[in-house]
Structure 1
Amino acid sequence: MKVNGKKRAVRSVVFLLVAAAAMFAIAPYLLFDPAYSRVKLNPALPFHYPLLLIHIFASFLALAVGWIQFIPGLRTNFLRLHRLVGRIYLGCIAAGGITGLAVGMYTESYIRQLAFLALAVLWLITGWKGYRTIRRGEVRDHQIWMLRSYAVTLVAATARLVTPLCLLAYMALQGAPDGGVKAAIAPVLEANIWVGLVLNVLLCEWLFVRRVR
């Protein structure tokens, strides 16, 4: 009982941290005002902000509903609900992934551009594999690919959670820049997405995928 209680406590803390990071990420876009965009908008792409909004909200919805499909017993006891959640989740991935490719192509920073494009491609591939495997009746492979897909989905939250650690690592490796902490933020925000992606993939494979196999 104590072990189960600890597991629930850990899950609750993780859930709250992810929820807080997700709300922080989406908050400026709830105003529907380009002036508050955290992503620098490229004037060469007239629909940059609308595409960014679709990407942000699709990603947020995928993050919000994706975990439901992993609830123990949902597939066996509430198959219709499981399928509905899966369809909503995969629909969000399609919308978020395609718009993510467009947004990534017009991102100013080269490193962030590569990060956006890599995430979008991985998101679309893992989502497609999750869809194809269940259509073929390959339930175990479907579970594995959906776990991998949600690991990619969580990068948006993980990248923000690891930002303080990335900042400390930057200070330790590069030293304090002339402009202080503010001057270190820009390079840190170019690295945190990659750190979040690698961390999520490793944890997913180690903690979850190997158990399903």
Structure 2
Amino acid sequence: MAARPTRSTWSTGWVPFALVALVLVPAIAGSLRLVELSGGPLLLPANPRMTVSPVPVVVHIISAVTYATLGAFQFSSRLRRRRPGWHRMAGRVLVVLGLAVAFSALWMTLFYPRQPGTGELAYVFRLAFGSSMAASITLGFAAIRRRDIAGHRAWMTRAYALALGAGTQVFTQGIGGAVFGASELTTDLSLGAGWVINLAVAEYVIRRYRSRGTIRATAKVGSS
């Protein structure tokens, strides 16, 4: 009988690639901004806030793109199961990158001049969700240190969802502007909607994992 084909031990499924696709537009925009800040041609609308003090935005872009790309593969159950060493090593790197993303975002919010077209609400959103991302990473790291895998997974999922806010905001800002017109309030609410939508999806994923774990535990008890 012919041997059944086996999946590669590096097979990851479709989820990581869908997550990477979500941040493709912000990643391209960030890369073009890096080209400008490194002395290249102006490929995006000028942003004097960044050119005056480029270090925080460079840290933010590089950390965010790497975090979003590498972090996507942490959601591959196949990869976690077959390459646990890789998962742990990548996780340590992601803690550093994620904190760099969160703290650079907070620094820019606090010390850069306010982005044109945004108001007080966007300022509050950026402080709240940036702080929440840093807190989620810290709590996730603490959870895995005490072997709380469910807690670790939940907090790291929330942190990653917040990091992907820029990807979802491409859609919420486009839809918000088309439906309600261009205004400061529309922009602020569209930005907030991106983070809220991602957190809602994250909570759905977390609850789904927990329900699966409960079903498996019940099945084991029933079969014993």
TM bucket, shorter chain: 0.7 to 0.9
Given that 2:50 and 2:57 are in contact with CA atoms closer than 8 Å, whether structure 1 keeps it comes out as no
What is the alpha-carbon distance in structure 2 between the residues aligned to residue 80 and residue 142 of structure 1? 16
Task: Indicate the residue corresponding to 1:77 in structure 2.
Answer: 82
Task: Indicate the residue corresponding to 2:162 in structure 1.
Answer: 152
Matched, 1:61 2:66: yes
Given that 1:21 and 1:161 are in contact with CA atoms closer than 8 Å, whether structure 2 keeps it comes out as no
Change (3 A) 1:39 1:187: farther
How many matched pairs? Answer: 189
Change (3 A) 1:119 1:38: farther
Task: Indicate the residue corresponding to 1:189 in structure 2.
Answer: 187
Given that 1:144 and 1:212 are in contact with CA atoms closer than 8 Å, whether structure 2 keeps it comes out as no
What is the alpha-carbon distance in structure 1 between the residues aligned to residue 57 and residue 156 of structure 2? 24
What is the alpha-carbon distance in structure 2 between the residues aligned to residue 165 and residue 68 of structure 1? 29
**After TM superposition, which residue ranges in structure 1, 4 or more long, deviate above 3 angstroms?**
11-17, 34-40, 185-189
Opposite residue 129 of structure 1, the aligned amino acid is L
What is the alpha-carbon distance in structure 2 between the residues aligned to residue 110 and residue 211 of structure 1? 35
**CA distances 1:140-195 after superposition (whole Å, capped 9, x unpaired):** 11111111111111101111122221113314xxxxxxxxxxxx165543332201
Task: Indicate the residue corresponding to 1:209 in structure 2.
Answer: 206
Opposite residue 212 of structure 1, the aligned amino acid is Y
Change (3 A) 1:67 1:169: same
Matched, 1:31 2:44: no
Task: Indicate the residue corresponding to 1:135 in structure 2.
Answer: 145
Task: Indicate the residue corresponding to 1:95 in structure 2.
Answer: 100
TM norm structure 1: 0.77
What is the alpha-carbon distance in structure 2 between the residues aligned to residue 13 and residue 92 of structure 1? 20
Opposite residue 194 of structure 1, the aligned amino acid is G
Given that 2:25 and 2:167 are in contact with CA atoms closer than 8 Å, whether structure 1 keeps it comes out as yes
SS at match of 2:57: helix
Larger Rg: 2
Task: Indicate the residue corresponding to 2:122 in structure 1.
Answer: 112
Given that 1:152 and 1:201 are in contact with CA atoms closer than 8 Å, whether structure 2 keeps it comes out as yes
Given that 2:64 and 2:101 are in contact with CA atoms closer than 8 Å, whether structure 1 keeps it comes out as yes
Change (3 A) 1:67 1:123: same
TM norm structure 2: 0.73
Change (3 A) 1:61 1:42: closer
Matched, 1:41 2:45: no
What is the alpha-carbon distance in structure 1 between the residues aligned to residue 200 and residue 26 of structure 2? 21
Gaps of 5+ in 1: 1-7, 172-183
Task: Indicate the residue corresponding to 2:196 in structure 1.
Answer: 198
Gaps of 5+ in 2: 1-12, 211-224
What is the alpha-carbon distance in structure 2 between the residues aligned to residue 147 and residue 12 of structure 1? 13
Change (3 A) 1:138 1:49: same
Change (3 A) 1:16 1:74: closer
SS at match of 2:49: coil
